[in-house]
Chain A
């Protein structure tokens, strides 16, 4: 006689096996354990990381072999990124996604930063007025992450569109175009996205002048200024 529904028994067995394996994995605190480092040692649950994740230095080395113009940058808080000249951005993106060891298939975030009022790295050093596109990348395959930065100098900021590499970049680029005014040649539909189509200026730029009125409607109350923030 054929056993009719072994599913339940099998499910129980696999469940028990999984529980056992969970107990046996005694991973140390993984680097992705976040900001918290309390006194208790955390017991991580199953981490799907395949163990092929590369460190930043390894990734940077691979990129630099192919693109010698790429450089590494870092912030005082320990954040590190790869800086790519704007004309090469699309090629680098293709490489980062296509290389089997890197395979950054996911663009988590693409943020635009206006460096106009950012203090110089060294005291009395030169400041930059560039607009920066920061690409936060992640690989679903290897589970490593990377930040790539592309600088677009101010008078005519232009960064080639990476829409063909990561589909989601299309929307992110439209947002940056809208709020920061960076052009993305190669984008199929580069229009404003959050503000109205006839809006003047790019609100997230640090030298943005708040308009007095839009469409005949006054936007400021009497005596109201927008200078009260950090930049007096």
Chain B
């Protein structure tokens, strides 16, 4: 930082206990009045060394820890880990698992439902950062409905531990499909209300338009992923371009940023990222409906259909002696690409797990992006990146 006149600047310690930082993020902000001249993120307050813990656990025991990597979308984190391990096992014919089709559909269904609920938290907390409290609660009430469904199926509302290597822990609860359809219908109506209330609000647009625009080159170079990358106009979605699971069977659009805010807006600004998330919710609703339509029915014999105990036993057998080697598996989470770089030395313990998360890499652009913004813009920026701190610190 080039400090020309020392003393004209104020150094603010924004966080770790600041309402807008969504957790325990600390930003060392140097301001000139309201305008920020330099910003240094200070992370690690929530570091639990999950990667190190993983080296002491057996492969299947790591699933609950993935819940804690990103607790806003635990299902997606589970999905990413389970798929990564299954990819490793699929490298060898002896250890390859046959995953029941219904389990695959339920995984995708729940991953998309959790994507919706995660986006609801992200969008809602962003509106709250902008000073509008009502849409926040409207958004969170929709998340509660999704949590109800999850709770009925797997017994937890936040950290689900629902997927296991080879399948699922148990089948959907009876009547779940009707419940999910009704919930999706209500969600669509609620989204229109939400958008009329806040997304089309002129103050809201003016607050976000043209703020912290990230160019496409910067977005790629600084490792922005997911909605943040697509907000900058890059048409890339792992679910479509590198489909894992059964994502190849679904029809959906990939929304990208187009300077939605109008004449004030620029490509890749906060409003674009916000709108991309909104549109993704609608696409997730589409995917959920398709999954419900295509899903093979439950036959009552749970183990055959969703993995359950007998497949889990097969998985355990395979996981006692997995193939030696490395896998980098990428999965599209609500906060973008979640990658698991797994190194296996052929024992029942992972040799090394590296978790690549969207929020951590998004932090890297702050130093470059923030100077020149105002304090209120910084709050908007944190909200629009939808940063979740356990994912940053792991």
Contacts and interface: CB of A to CB of B under 8 A. Distances in A.
Interface stretch (A5-13, A60-68, A165-173, A212-220): A165-173
B322 to A, nearest CB: 8
A143 B349 contact: no
Interface in A104-152: 105-109, 111-114, 117-119, 134, 136, 140, 143, 147
B202 interface: no
B280 to A, nearest CB: 15
Contacts of B348: 230
A75 B341 CA distance: 14
B318 to A, nearest CB: 13
A224 interface: no
A51 interface: no
Given A44-B243, A167-B218, A171-B363, A194 B43 contact: yes
Q: How large is the interface on A (under 10, 10 to 19, 20 to 34, 35 or more residues)?
A: 35 or more
Interface stretch (B44-52, B112-120, B146-154): B44-52
B393 A147 contact: no
A155 interface: no
A76 B356 CA distance: 24
A35 B51 contact: no
Given A113-B343, A113-B352, A40 B241 contact: no
A45 interface: yes
Interface string A36-61: 11101011111111000000000000
B337 interface: yes
A104 to B, nearest CB: 10
A24 interface: no
Contacts of A42: 243, 246, 248-249
Given A108-B337, A194-B44, A77 B327 contact: yes
B341 A77 contact: no
Contact of B91 (A77, A118, A192): A77
Contacts of A22: 251
A40 B102 CA distance: 13
Given A43-B248, A140-B220, A166-B223, A108 B339 contact: yes
Contacts of B365: 167-168
Nearest to B221: A167
A38 B100 CA distance: 9
B236 interface: yes
Interface string B196-217: 0000000000000000000001
B240 to A, nearest CB: 6
A20 interface: no
B235 A168 contact: no
B243 A40 contact: no
A33 B248 contact: yes
A194 B327 contact: no
Contacts of B325: 75-79
A177 to B, nearest CB: 13
Interface string A184-228: 000000001111100000011000000000000000000000101
A108 B393 CA distance: 17
A3 interface: no
B392 to A, nearest CB: 9
Interface in B311-356: 323-328, 330, 337, 339, 341, 343-349, 351-352, 354, 356
Contact of A45 (B52, B251, B343, B360): B251
A21 to B, nearest CB: 12
Contacts of B345: 117-119
B141 interface: no
Contacts of A226: 56
A114 B83 CA distance: 24
Given A42-B246, A78-B325, A105 B361 contact: no
A111 B354 contact: yes
Contact of A32 (B88, B92, B243, B250): B243
A168 B55 contact: no
A32 B241 contact: yes
B139 interface: no
B99 interface: yes
Given A32-B242, A48-B236, A167-B365, A228 B339 contact: no
Contacts of B240: 45-48
Contacts of A109: 328, 339, 341, 354, 356
B55 A229 contact: yes
Q: Which of B244, B325, B326 has the most CB of A within 10 A?
A: B326
A45 B98 CA distance: 23
A95 to B, nearest CB: 16
B241 A195 contact: no
15 contacts: A38-B104, A45-B240, A47-B241, A76-B324, A81-B326, A108-B223, A108-B337, A108-B356, A109-B339, A113-B351, A134-B326, A136-B356, A166-B221, A228-B56, A229-B349
In the A-B complex, the 9 residue pairs with the closest CB atoms: A77-B325, A168-B223, A75-B325, A111-B354, A229-B56, A77-B91, A230-B349, A34-B244, A171-B364
Given A36-B104, A79-B91, A105-B221, 15 more contacts: A34-B243, A36-B245, A42-B248, A44-B248, A76-B323, A119-B346, A134-B341, A136-B356, A167-B218, A167-B222, A179-B51, A203-B52, A226-B56, A228-B56, A229-B349
